Structure 1
Amino acid sequence: MIDIHFIVNPIAGSGKNSFSELFLQDYFEADRYNITIKSSGYKGHAIDLTNESILQKADVIVACGGDGTINEVASTMVGSTIPLGIIPIGSGNGLAANLSIPKPIKKALYIIKNHHITTIDVGCVNQRYFFSNAGFGFTANVIGNYEAFQKRTLMCYIKASLKSFQQFSKKDSILIAIDGKTEVLNPFLIFVSNSNVMGYHMSLTPKASLQDGLLDVVIVPKINKLKMLIFGGLMLFKKPELLKEVKCYQTKSLTLVRQQGEVFESQMDGELSNIKDVTLSISIKKNALNVLV
């Protein structure tokens, strides 16, 4: 028997997705599969549920939700031999898009049943993992405004971006050490990516790969609002590097040191996070996670 544990965020996306045992038995025969369904009730709960499933020796653990839920489940599974399945029922679904995991639940379930495993790299900020991207500055500000909306839709993301454009003011300097070079900037944004999709099929790093052992980094210094608009337009066409101020790197590691302020305002896989550490060591762990694709 194959034990499959589904970790479900019941409010992801529309909040109307059904993951009852009766529903899943249409895809996983009762004589071959044991199905366990666990629902997360609060932020961080999926971590506890995944740890429990690992102790219960699940053969497959499936994250059902958006990038935040997937981050919680996958972070717990880094270094484990248990493969991660993904049912992308969130709003952005950046990691699933990069892995070509389809949004229709039926198709995603067949990927899990086919059990084809690949390994992907994992980004690390100090002791915290990210799988799609981590952002500082403007991108974190956008996520902060986005989380204030009750719904997670593309229109809400656009509204959050416009609000951030109107209010954004970056006053804190950051020392950036990358590829043997060190400089202090008052950045508009720093974006560190492991994948080529942010969510909603937008991208700042269209050439990034989950399997190349490298992080793709985009650094934009402080720019005026006209250039912010130009940068936003270039991002829609996946050509942010055409703005001359933009610096792009591929690297295995970089370091950020906060010069002022009390926290690093950041986002990791689309979830806001205020990090109190003064120094952030950002690196890549190659082939650290098994995923069903």
Structure 2
Amino acid sequence: MNYLLYNPLSNNGKGDEGKKKAIKDLNGQFPDLEEVDYTSIIFEDLAKDLQPGDNLILCGGDGTLNFFANDIKTYTVPEGVNYYLFPYGTGNDFVNDIKDKCLNLKLIEINKYLEKLPKVRVNGKETYFINNVGYGLDGMVCEVADEIRAKGKKPNYTSIAISLLRGKYERRNAKVTVDGVTKEFKEVWIAPAMNGRYYGGGMKATPEQNRLSGNLTCAVMYGQSRLHTITAFMGIFKGTHVKHTEMVEFLVGKHVHVEFDTPCALQIDGETYLDVKEYDAWYEE
């Protein structure tokens, strides 16, 4: 069987358009696609119907992929089911990260990227994540974006970030522990745990990170004036912020624990959590 699992809420509510495009583009390779609205099913029921050799095509962006990854880790899916991604989201940081390894960006086989995933614990809740856990300025960007979206408007994440850098974001002091080694940082702007290289809709936060390595990279940006930070921060889109060693440090390991001295918003693959004091992110042995 060939299933098209689509999210009508993806791409700012344009998911139905993505579904139609997927059916049109994939008709030759996957005829008789069975359309499944991801928001209206219980995944456990679908998993029971899957058979080895079935093709499950996911139509959506990073948020949809995150939900899917957690579902297949929670419910038993038979071995031999093929997973594909038909990208149709707003950010698509996952695609940005792996596109150099893909022959066809319209349909990406994703089984190997879902075999082993990191987990994060926030406020007692554990979940798998695909791309990153963003904490600090990046978490607050998602908080403000949610508020703008709730008013029926489309947020511009870059504009929000620059506005917060100019004065609305209050820096925190942080303790960052990676594989048991703790470092303290003053006036922290961001302290994400990265599984891929990209986040925030195209920011190349950790250029050397490899999502298949079994390690995470915590990228800490700290100190310096707001003007200096804005200049350095603009380089994050191409990864050139790494040159600012006076205010950027990368810590690599299997277990990342970050604690702020005052709570702040946090995001997991774009989903916002408010008033977070600390988080744990790790790869299981």
Query: TM-score interval w.r.t. the shorter chain?
Result: 0.7 to 0.9
Higher-helix-fraction structure:
2
Task: Give the match's secondary structure for 1:122.
Answer: coil
Structure 1: runs of 5 or more not aligned: 287-293
Report deviation, 1:22: 6.7
Q: Distance in 2 between matches of 1:257 and 1:107?
A: 38
CA contact (8 A) 2:18 2:60 kept: no
Question: Which residue number in structure 1 is paired with residue 174 of structure 2?
Answer: 174
Question: Which residue number in structure 2 is paired with residue 289 of structure 1?
Answer: none
Among 63, 68, 76, which residue is 2:71 paired with? 76
Question: Which residue number in structure 2 is paired with residue 160 of structure 1?
Answer: 160
Report deviation, 1:85: 1.9
Question: Which residue number in structure 1 is paired with residue 240 of structure 2?
Answer: 239
Q: Distance in 2 between matches of 1:208 and 1:258?
A: 24
Among 57, 65, 68, which residue is 2:60 paired with? 65
Question: Which residue number in structure 1 is paired with residue 45 of structure 2?
Answer: 52
Question: Which has the larger displacement, 13-22 or 187-196?
Answer: 13-22
Q: Distance in 2 between matches of 1:101 and 1:36?
A: 29
Among 243, 255, 258, which residue is 1:256 paired with? 258
1:91-110 Cα offsets, whole Å, 9 max, x none, are 110012223299xxx9624x
Task: Give the match's secondary structure for 1:217.
Answer: strand
CA contact (8 A) 1:214 1:251 kept: yes
1:199-235 Cα offsets, whole Å, 9 max, x none, are 5433011111111111121112243202221221321
Query: CA 1:83–1:22 in structure 2 vs 1: closer, same or farther (change >3 Å)?
Result: closer
Question: Which has the larger displacement, 14-23 or 81-90?
Answer: 14-23
The letter of the residue matching 2:67 is E
Q: Distance in 2 between matches of 1:237 and 1:100?
A: 15
Question: Which residue number in structure 2 is paired with residue 188 of structure 1?
Answer: 189
Report deviation, 1:39: 4.5
Q: Distance in 2 between matches of 1:198 and 1:14?
A: 21
Superposed counterparts of 1:265-284, under 5 Å: 265-274=265-274, 279-284=278-283
Report deviation, 1:27: 4.2
Task: Give the match's secondary structure for 2:139.
Answer: helix
CA contact (8 A) 2:171 2:189 kept: no
CA contact (8 A) 1:7 1:61 kept: no
Q: Distance in 1 between matches of 2:117 and 2:23?
A: 34
Q: Distance in 2 between matches of 1:251 and 1:224?
A: 29
CA contact (8 A) 1:217 1:248 kept: yes
Query: CA 1:255–1:199 in structure 2 vs 1: closer, same or farther (change >3 Å)?
Result: closer
Task: Give the match's secondary structure for 2:119.
Answer: strand
Computed over aligned residues only, the root mean square deviation of the Cα atoms, in angstroms, reads 3.2
CA contact (8 A) 2:174 2:259 kept: yes
Superposed counterparts of 1:106-117, under 5 Å: 108-109=106-107, 111=108, 117=111
Q: Distance in 2 between matches of 1:181 and 1:234?
A: 28
Q: Distance in 2 between matches of 1:254 and 1:281?
A: 6
Report deviation, 1:252: 0.8
CA contact (8 A) 1:188 1:223 kept: no
Q: Distance in 1 between matches of 2:216 and 2:10?
A: 31
Query: CA 1:165–1:208 in structure 2 vs 1: closer, same or farther (change >3 Å)?
Result: same
CA contact (8 A) 2:118 2:128 kept: yes
Query: CA 1:163–1:36 in structure 2 vs 1: closer, same or farther (change >3 Å)?
Result: same
Task: Return the TM-score normalized by structure 1.
Answer: 0.76
Task: Give the match's secondary structure for 1:61.
Answer: strand
Q: Distance in 2 between matches of 1:94 and 1:37?
A: 24
CA contact (8 A) 2:62 2:92 kept: yes
Question: Which residue number in structure 2 is paired with residue 118 of structure 1?
Answer: 112
Task: Give the match's secondary structure for 1:205.
Answer: coil
CA contact (8 A) 2:4 2:34 kept: yes
Query: CA 1:11–1:195 in structure 2 vs 1: closer, same or farther (change >3 Å)?
Result: closer
Task: Return the TM-score normalized by structure 2.
Answer: 0.78
Q: Percent identity?
A: 16
Superposed counterparts of 1:134-145, under 5 Å: 134-145=133-144
Q: Distance in 1 between matches of 2:49 and 2:197?
A: 34
Question: Which residue number in structure 1 is paired with residue 95 of structure 2?
Answer: 96
Query: CA 1:18–1:221 in structure 2 vs 1: closer, same or farther (change >3 Å)?
Result: closer
Task: Give the match's secondary structure for 1:266.
Answer: strand
Task: Give the match's secondary structure for 1:195.
Answer: coil
Q: Distance in 2 between matches of 1:236 and 1:107?
A: 21
**Alignment coverage as a number of residue pairs:** 265
